[in-house]
């Protein structure tokens, strides 16, 4: 193992998670912190701490020169970026390597390539990963549009070729509708962009968000199966599961195997996630993007596979080979993670950066709580509202849901407003129990007042 002194360029719960993983591997941990984070939990647990600047992230956790100076000062030989902040900055990854250290993640060139949507789509297609079918070139004639639509399949999304930001988008269910909507779209596109050219793409209505965890050592790559992350609010995941019970075995195998092909094709090193839209009706999945880092929801995968993904990424980036062959990675049971945010779900999720007055952590078989809290801790207002992740592992989805409901009743975080009431309500919901949700489900559910039913109003 070539990594002896690991600098953690992050904060919050993921910093705690990385410190724990590194210590278990006998690696000295160096924790950076901002002026607002001197008393954070990761600082209390790390071997060495070093201040990298002011409270505002651009002055500290996003300040590349300051972090590199801290690494030099503390003799770090590797940098773990966590998620968020500089985790997907090719510039930072390259600067770390140029300074003679190991970057715990894929090469800067890979971050760059997979971070570019068009380049990532091309890399995916080349590796046999399905992407959302669309027209190759701009379309100017209605007959041509109908021809292309027959090939890519209905319903189709009609977009302005010159447009962006959703302007002028229409959805046609069949050829008749396309013939009526396409001229309108052309007129609107010409008016808005001075160009009536159109672009067609298969419309994936009410899709699920499914993603595949992969790990590479630069030569070989494996997958750790998939996660279901459709319960989202404002495009932020609030609840994640492993695996995705909506998939049949054939679809799961194809999803995971093509993800590995892509990882191998780009000589991927470290932990990565391929994100897909999944259409329950056609049973088809479409690549949307790749995240070149460890993700918030990695614990559900760890629960069902029994593999410590953070340790594994440190190991492979340190130059060792993957610990497991694909055939040795198996899945057992079902895991669910809920994100606990310091927000008031009864008041439009208003942030609530309070002081933790009491803390009761749920315990038991198959229950895990990743967090950075302790009694008396003042949560700073400058960063993300995520304060912890409650994770359960059950024999199956029904068992996991039951365990989650119990764990949510046991967890107590005094002094704050948190999203615990949201998750308690979701645990009791019939649609959640049936698993028949998608990415467009949670927001209307909230808008319909499911959190503030009359019988519960007195308690709020």
Of 59 and 289, which CB lies nearer to another protein in the complex structure?
59
Q: Is 113 a catalytic residue?
A: no
**What is the C-alpha to C-alpha distance for residues 294 and 292, in angstroms, rounded to an integer?**
7
- Residue 419 neighbours by CB under 8 Å, 6+ apart: 238, 338, 339, 340, 341, 343, 345, 349
**What is the C-alpha to C-alpha distance for residues 197 and 141, in angstroms, rounded to an integer?**
9
Q: How far is the CB of 445 from another protein (least distance, A)?
A: 21
- Residues 134, 166, 285, CA angle at the centre, nearest 5°? 40
Alpha helices in 25-63 (DSSP H): 41-45
- Give the DSSP H or E segment for 124: helix 117-126
Of 57 and 93, which CB lies nearer to another protein in the complex structure?
57
Within its chain, how far is the Cα of 288 from the centroid?
12
Q: Give me the phi and psi of 368, to 5 degrees please.
A: -135, 140
Instruction: Determine the number of helices (DSSP H) and then strands (DSSP E) in the chain.
Output: 16, 20
Of 54 and 197, which CB lies nearer to another protein in the complex structure?
54
Within its chain, how far is the Cα of 451 from the centroid?
25
**What is the C-alpha to C-alpha distance for residues 368 and 304, in angstroms, rounded to an integer?**
13
C-alpha dihedral sign at 436, 442, 446, 452:
positive
Q: How far is the CB of 246 from another protein (least distance, A)?
A: 31
Of 151 and 234, which CB lies nearer to another protein in the complex structure?
234
CA dihedral 62, 65, 71, 75 (to 10 degrees): 180
**What is the C-alpha to C-alpha distance for residues 82 and 295, in angstroms, rounded to an integer?**
8
Q: How far is the CB of 56 from another protein (least distance, A)?
A: 6
Of 84 and 168, which CB lies nearer to another protein in the complex structure?
84
Of 63 and 385, which CB lies nearer to another protein in the complex structure?
385
Q: How many CB atoms lie within 10 A of CB 154?
A: 15
Q: Give me the phi and psi of 390, to 5 degrees please.
A: -100, 125
Please report, as ranges, the residues that interact with another protein according to CB under 8 A: 36, 54-56, 342-343, 350-351, 353, 380-385
Say if residue 324 is exposed, middle or buried (CB neighbours under 10 Å; 0-12, 13-18, 19+): middle
Residue appearing with tokens 């010159």: 162
Paired sense of beta strands 5-8 and 78-80, if any: parallel
Q: How far is the CB of 351 from another protein (least distance, A)?
A: 4
- Residue 144 neighbours by CB under 8 Å, 6+ apart: none
Q: How far is the CB of 318 from another protein (least distance, A)?
A: 33
Of 109 and 350, which CB lies nearer to another protein in the complex structure?
350
Of 62 and 274, which CB lies nearer to another protein in the complex structure?
62
Q: How far is the CB of 81 from another protein (least distance, A)?
A: 19
Q: How far is the CB of 266 from another protein (least distance, A)?
A: 31
Distances (CA, A) of 288 to 51, 129, 164, 267, 448: 37, 10, 17, 20, 30
Of 54 and 435, which CB lies nearer to another protein in the complex structure?
54
**What is the C-alpha to C-alpha distance for residues 256 and 253, in angstroms, rounded to an integer?**
5
**What is the C-alpha to C-alpha distance for residues 76 and 63, in angstroms, rounded to an integer?**
17
**Among residues 5, 113, 202, 293, which one is catalytic?**
293
Token pair, residue 253, equals: 């195998």
Q: How far is the CB of 15 from another protein (least distance, A)?
A: 17
Which DSSP symbol is given to 207? Answer: -
Q: How far is the CB of 37 from another protein (least distance, A)?
A: 12
Report helix, strand or coil for 255: helix
| Residues tagged active-site | 293
């Amino acid at each position: 193992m070539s990594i002896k002194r690991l600098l953690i360029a992050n904060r919050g719960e993921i910093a705690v998670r990385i410190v724990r993983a590194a210590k278990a591997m006998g690696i000295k941990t160096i924790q950076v912190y901002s002026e607002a984070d001197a008393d954070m939990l990761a600082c209390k647990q790390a071997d060495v701490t070093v201040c990298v600047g002011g409270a505002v992230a651009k002055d500290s956790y996003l300040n590349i020169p300051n972090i590199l100076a801290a690494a030099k000062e503390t003799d770090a030989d590797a940098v773990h970026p966590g998620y968020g902040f500089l985790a997907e900055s090719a510039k930072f990854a390259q600067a770390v390597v140029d300074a003679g250290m190991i970057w715990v993640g894929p090469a800067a060139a890979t971050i760059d390539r997979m971070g570019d949507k068009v380049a990532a789509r091309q890399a995916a297609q080349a590796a046999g990963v399905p992407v959302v079918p669309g027209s190759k070139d701009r379309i100017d004639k209605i007959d041509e549009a109908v021809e292309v639509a027959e090939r890519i399949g209905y319903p189709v999304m009609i977009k302005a070729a010159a447009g962006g930001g959703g302007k002028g988008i229409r959805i046609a269910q069949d050829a008749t509708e396309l013939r009526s909507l396409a001229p309108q779209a052309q007129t609107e596109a010409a008016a808005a962009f001075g160009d009536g050219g159109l672009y067609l793409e298969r419309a994936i209505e009410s899709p699920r968000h499914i993603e595949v965890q992969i790990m590479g050592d630069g030569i070989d790559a494996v997958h750790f199966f998939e996660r279901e992350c459709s319960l989202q609010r404002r495009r932020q995941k609030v609840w994640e599961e492993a695996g995705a019970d909506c998939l049949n075995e054939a679809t799961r195998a194809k999803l995971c195997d093509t993800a590995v092909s892509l990882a191998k094709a780009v000589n991927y090193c470290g932990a990565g996630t391929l994100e897909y839209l999944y259409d329950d009706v056609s049973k088809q999945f479409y690549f949307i993007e790749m995240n070149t880092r460890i993700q918030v929801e990695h614990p559900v995968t760890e629960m069902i596979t029994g593999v410590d993904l953070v340790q594994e990424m440190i190991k492979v980036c340190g130059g060792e080979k993957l610990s497991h062959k694909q055939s040795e990675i198996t899945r057992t049971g079902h895991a669910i993670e809920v994100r606990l945010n310091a927000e008031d779900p009864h008041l439009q999720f208003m942030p609530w950066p309070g002081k933790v007055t009491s803390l009761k952590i749920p315990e038991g078989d198959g229950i895990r709580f990743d967090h950075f809290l302790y009694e008396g801790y003042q949560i700073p207002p400058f960063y993300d509202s995520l304060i912890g992740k409650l994770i359960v592992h059950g024999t199956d989805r029904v068992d996991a849901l039951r365990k989650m409901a119990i764990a949510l009743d046991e967890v107590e975080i005094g002094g704050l407003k948190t999203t615990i009431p949201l998750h308690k309500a979701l645990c009791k919901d019939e649609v959640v129990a049936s698993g028949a949700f998608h990415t467009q489900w949670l927001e209307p559910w909230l808008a319909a007042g499911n959190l503030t039913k009359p019988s519960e109003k007195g308690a709020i």
